[in-house]
Amino acid sequence: MTTLDWIIIAGYFVLLATIAWRSSRQTSTSADYFLAGRNLPWFVVGCSLLASNIGSEHIVGLAGNGATNGMAMAHFELHAWIMLLLGWVFVPFYYRSKVFTMPEFLEKRFDSRARWTLSIVSLVAYVFTKVSVTVYAGAVVFMALLPDTFGSPENAFWVGAITTVVLTGIYTVVGGLRAVVYTEVAQTGILILGSALLTFFGLRGLGGWGELQATLGAHAERFSLWRPMSDPDFPWLGIMLCSPIIGIWYWCTDQYIVQRTLAAKSLREARRGSIFGAFLKVLPVFIFLVPGMIGYALHTKGVISIPLSADGHMNGDMVFPTMVTTLMPTGLRGILVAGLLSALMSSLASLFNSCATLFTVDIYNKLRPGRPEKEIVRVGRWATGFVVILGIIWIPVMKLISGGGLYQYLQSVQGYLAPPITATFLLGLFFKRINSRGALAGLVVGFILGMIKLTVQALDGGGAFGDSGLLHAIGSYNFLYAGGWLFLVSIVIVVGVSLTGAPPAASQVEGLTYTSLTRAQHDENRRSWGAADVLASLGVVALIVGIYVYFSFWLG
């Protein structure tokens, strides 16, 4: 890192501080603090959706998976079509109900027990997966980029982790969602610019796209989105079954993401924000995953040397930092580091604010209803600070994760969390016969089964069950297939248990399911979109189809 690089990074922090300070002056009510006053334009919503999604685990982990597995993980990045579902199918119900959180929507559709269950599951999952993985991935890159700046790589790890968590926590605590989303607009631009530069210099160092194809010619499967059924990690059937389940949960029902659309100034702006976010979501395939493939090709040709992990294989999670340190020229390296900081801080800020919203709105307000607005905002700030502390405490645990598998680790955990939640929301929106009894049973039983599978898998990974036996078979069973089965079991439980009780009253489901919409609500939905929205959505779909066609039938 040179003086110019540090000047660029300092400029980045000055920009964020200015935006956060201006935003913090408008947080007098709970709607201001948690939903930015419900006044966001579509452009801000779309940028915030991408910035919230793209964390340091994406930059580090997705590049690592590009190096080790090629295009296999691109399915999860091509979930842009699911973001269109968010805008066209889910958001109208959420926005019309005027809720702050997804658990609050479940209470309107079912009852308070469903709300409590989803709130607790979401909070636990955020702290022990998203927050910790994001912080760990960012710290790994700091350790690689600044190994001697703070005395040793270990010191760089801790300085990078704690500094970014604390700084992000400060502006999130002070400014609420308004500070989060407006800083994310700037962070989105920096993130895309920095990653695009790395892709450019990587291809230039390699000799172009044709040279990438030629270098990996002996491994043509790396360019294919599909893997054979015999593939232990990403069999094509497992991808088709589980990838949409995880995507619908994440993009259409998770507080962490949906909160941005709830803050839009109108239903039209919320939908357009989702469409714009869907377009931006296609970019990670080319600016995060493809650079990993380039890094592997450069390593194969001896242009760069990627460190090995403890098992003697290439450490995928070191691909991104190695490319930055060896390929990027002076000054532009600072932009890359600023891009990394953007990814880390935007995801953390979103997580901190979403956790505070869930705790304050779904737990504190339920335990102490009718409290003054100033007290609610104060509790939200305290809750944000508490999550920041938990994120720091959990960092040593995340250091135990083996290098090279961050992104896949995160997807596997989500593969066990998503199915019961996805099943409950889909059935709740499309079938008014589903009642609170069925929803609660599906959420609780599905969550328990998913955690059992995750626990057995972790123990089996440590060799606890040997190479045979029932527990080993369960632990080693592919997470994509397991997620598909868990989704099916959750549907059966929700439907079956619902049928054992009385259907919900018509007044309870009015406007909350597709078959119970009134004529006025249908008309309201129709007035919220026009030809431009349809054409933009079709453009995103065409772009996704084009990518699938190219990377499905590439023959080398």
Q: What is the pLDDT of residues 450-479, one digit of tens each?
A: 989 888 887 776 677 888 888 888 888 888
Predicted confidence (pLDDT) at residue 524 exceeds the cutoff of 50:
yes
Tokens 């709970």 correspond to what residue?
30
Output the pLDDT for position 57: 66
Helices (H), 54-128: 56-57, 63-69, 74-77, 80-85, 91-97, 102-109, 112-125
Output the pLDDT for position 352: 83
Q: How much is the average pLDDT of 423-444?
A: 95
The pTM (predicted TM-score) of the whole model is: 0.87
Q: Side-chain half-sphere of 534: how many Cα atoms within 13 Å?
A: 6
Which value, to the nearest 10 degrees, does the dihedral of the CA atoms of residues 498, 500, 501, 505 take?
Answer: 50
State pLDDT tens for residues 101-136.
999 999 999 999 999 999 988 887 777 667 767 777
Type of residue numbered 257: I
> How confident is the prediction for the chain on average, in pLDDT?
84
Q: What is the DSSP code (8-state) at residue 318?
A: G
Which value, to the nearest 10 degrees, does the dihedral of the CA atoms of residues 530, 245, 449, 434 take?
Answer: 40
Counts of helices then strands in the chain (DSSP H, E): 29, 0
Comparing 272-281, 381-390, 417-426, 466-475, which segment has the lowest mean pLDDT? 381-390
Strand partners, 264: 40
Predicted confidence (pLDDT) at residue 406 exceeds the cutoff of 60:
no
State pLDDT tens for residues 170-206.
877 777 888 888 888 887 888 888 888 888 998 998 8
Output the pLDDT for position 9: 83
Q: What distances in angstroms separate CA 35 from CA 364, 463, 530, one per listed residue?
A: 17, 46, 26
Output the pLDDT for position 556: 39
Predicted confidence (pLDDT) at residue 432 exceeds the cutoff of 70:
yes
Structure tokens at 411: 């997807």
Q: How much is the average pLDDT of 482-496?
A: 95
State pLDDT tens for residues 234-260.
788 888 888 899 999 999 999 989 999
Higher pLDDT, 486 or 378: 486
Is 106 within 8 Å of 424 (Cβ atoms)?
Answer: yes
Phi, psi of 503 (to 5 degrees): -70, 155
Q: What is the chain's length?
A: 556
| CB neighbour class for 374 (10 Å; exposed up to 12, middle 13-18, buried from 19) | exposed
Output the pLDDT for position 403: 39
State pLDDT tens for residues 344-363.
777 788 888 888 888 888 88
Per-domain boundaries in the chain: 3-21+41-351+398-552
Q: How much is the average pLDDT of 513-532?
A: 90
Q: How far apart are CA 107 and CA 115, in angstroms?
A: 5
State pLDDT tens for residues 280-326.
999 888 888 888 889 888 888 888 888 776 666 777 777 887 888 88
Is 506 within 8 Å of 516 (Cβ atoms)?
Answer: yes
Strand partners, 411: none
Torsion sign (Cα): 269, 270, 272, 273:
positive
Is 80 within 8 Å of 279 (Cβ atoms)?
Answer: yes
Q: What distances in angstroms separate CA 443 from CA 47, 257, 313, 361, 551, one per listed residue?
A: 31, 20, 39, 20, 37
Collapsed DSSP state (helix, strand, coil) of residue 40? strand
Structure tokens at 69: 């597995």
Q: How much is the average pLDDT of 41-69?
A: 83
Predicted confidence (pLDDT) at residue 402 exceeds the cutoff of 50:
no
User: Class for domain 3-21+41-351+398-552, per CATH?
Assistant: mainly alpha
Output the pLDDT for position 447: 92
Output the pLDDT for position 398: 55
- Name the most confidently modeled range: 16-20, 85-89, 163-167: 85-89
Measure CA 9 to chain center: 25
Confidence bin at 555 (pLDDT 50/70/90)? very low
Structure tokens at 230: 């015999």
Which H, E and C letters describe 349-386, residue by residue? HHHHHHHHHHHHHHHHHHHCCCCCHHHHHHHHHHHHHH
Q: Name the percent of the chain lying above pLDDT 70.
A: 90
Higher pLDDT, 90 or 468: 90
Confidence bin at 229 (pLDDT 50/70/90)? confident
Output the pLDDT for position 444: 95
